[in-house]
Amino acid sequence: MTDERALSLHEVAADWLMRVRSAPADAALARAFEDWLDESEDNRRAFAGVARSWELIGEVPPVHFDPQNDVESVARPIPAVAHPRRGRLLAATVALAACLVAFLAYPALLLLIEADYRTSTGTSRAITLDDGTRIALGADSAIAVDMAADRRMVQLLQGEAFFDVRPDPARPFVVDAGGVDVRVLGTSFNVRLSSADTTVELAEGSVDLDYPGHAEAQARLAPGQSALVDLETGRLTRGEIAPQDIGTWREGRLFVQDATIADVVEQLQRYHRAWIAVPDGALAARRVTGLYDLADPDRALRALVEPHGGRMREISPYMRVLSRF
């Protein structure tokens, strides 16, 4: 693929449109796309022009984006047409484009409505609740908080968080992560929610896990223990982890133990503004244990795949591809 540095802004926008159309359910891609739109008003105008051109594919010849063309001229509204069939097509395609924009914006909008606290790509946040509980919220993460006289509940909506819970025997503290309930009185632990599973790692105290409707997904953890719950099957996998390796992301390092490359990429995605793709299924399934630098996600990606014969290709500032070819 041509390096993006040699492309016009309109061609970059066209590339984004093709990618979001080909992977409409890819949340990481949608977030990267939103970040690109937010970088400048020129990006938004360029994408609007490309979207309008795409709407008319089949009715007019494809548009060639000349790097010298003015952005304003590309984004200028399309004149009204008298042909009834073309008018109907334009109305339908405008509606389709509106649906596309709504689809891409919906997850972020829903998160904004539900979340009490959230972070963006590559940033973290320290939160202290009214009861004195401290939460370190990881990159591209969000939580909703429900504190009342008879309950303390935090819902991890996305990403990862480290909890240092203030003891209160009258009000157990519950974290809901993808439907998996983590119940504690006072303790320190890390919770990570991915697209496929919930992982809990206990540093101090004890926690009880319960995934309602899945009897086998119940456990009590002691310090240095972890549990991974498959959100589809309810299968629970126990593990061991040194307490000092729990929540290392707070220090800018990602520690993974016997995880697939696909799992690690999903975690690194929260620290990288580019969309990361692993089309090589065999490479994605390789299991790794290691420590990776979150301050330099590209370096982390190389360190992740090179021992397995893989390479990281920088397709553009907004796309990375990991493969063995």
Task: Give residue 99's pLDDT.
Answer: 54
List the domains of the chain with CATH numbers.
Answer: 4-114 (no CATH), 121-241 (2.60.120.1440), 252-325 (3.55.50.30)
Residue 166 has pLDDT above 70, yes or no: yes
Q: How confident is the model at residue 62 (pLDDT cuts 50, 70, 90)?
A: very low
Residue bearing the bigger pLDDT, 232 or 75: 232
Mean pLDDT of 297-323: 93
Phi, psi at residue 62, to the nearest 5°? -60, 145
Provide the token pair at 17: 């449109």
Mean pLDDT of 244-273: 95
Residue 15 has pLDDT above 60, yes or no: yes
Q: How confident is the model at residue 107 (pLDDT cuts 50, 70, 90)?
A: low
Residue bearing the bigger pLDDT, 190 or 34: 190
Average pLDDT, the chain: 81
CA distance linking residue 241 with residue 319, whole number of Å:
33
Q: How confident is the model at residue 199 (pLDDT cuts 50, 70, 90)?
A: very high
Task: Give residue 82's pLDDT.
Answer: 40
Instruction: Tell me how far CA of residue 313 lies from CA of 28, 242, 310, in angstroms.
Output: 18, 34, 10
Q: Which H helix or E strand runs over 152? A: strand 151-164
Per-residue model confidence as pLDDT tens digits over 35-60: 888 888 888 887 877 676 555 433 23
